[in-house]
Amino acid sequence: MRRMAFPDTAAEVRGRLQTVTRRPGWRFLKPGDTLLAVDPGRRGQESELGVLRIRRVSVEPLSRLDKATYAEDELPREGLPCWSRDHFIATFLRRHRLKSADVQVTRIEFEYVDRGLGPPRTG
């Protein structure tokens, strides 16, 4: 099963609060595909967060989040209800080494198909 890393929102995925993620790439996903959500952790100690089923995949400019009402709906779905849209966009651009919010990103909507995989594995 393909893995998708959630290094910045692992807690939100563990808590089943996040149902949307944006990624450069990942345009090959289709509704019904399943992924294993993982937290890459520190020093390569990856932990499994749960299995996700893709509900919808679309491509849109990151700058669409500049629209206040859209951002108000989307940021909680990203698991980040307290973030401002400017902070989200700036952080996304920096983390993905992108230069402009006009870049096309893949919006991936998902659901959880399990109750979690228990505590992180050690050793």
pLDDT in tens, 107-117: 999 999 975 44
Written out in words, the top-level CATH class of the domain with range 3-112 is mainly beta
Question: What is the per-residue pLDDT across 23-66, written as a single tens digit (0 to 9) for each?
Answer: 999 999 999 999 999 999 877 788 999 999 999 999 999 999 99
Query: What order do you get walking across the sheet with 3-5 strand by strand?
Result: 3-5, 34-39, 47-61, 104-112, 20-23
Q: What is the DSSP string of 44-88?
A: T--EEEEEEEEEEEEEEEGGGGGSHHHHHHHHHHTT-TTS-HHHH
> What does the pLDDT read at residue 38?
95
Mean pLDDT in the chain? 90
The Cα–Cα gap between 4 and 43 comes to 18
What is the structure's pLDDT at 42?
78
CA distance 86 to 77: 16
Cβ–Cβ contacts within 10 Å for residue 2, how many? 10
Please give the pLDDT value at position 115: 52
pLDDT at 6 over 60: yes
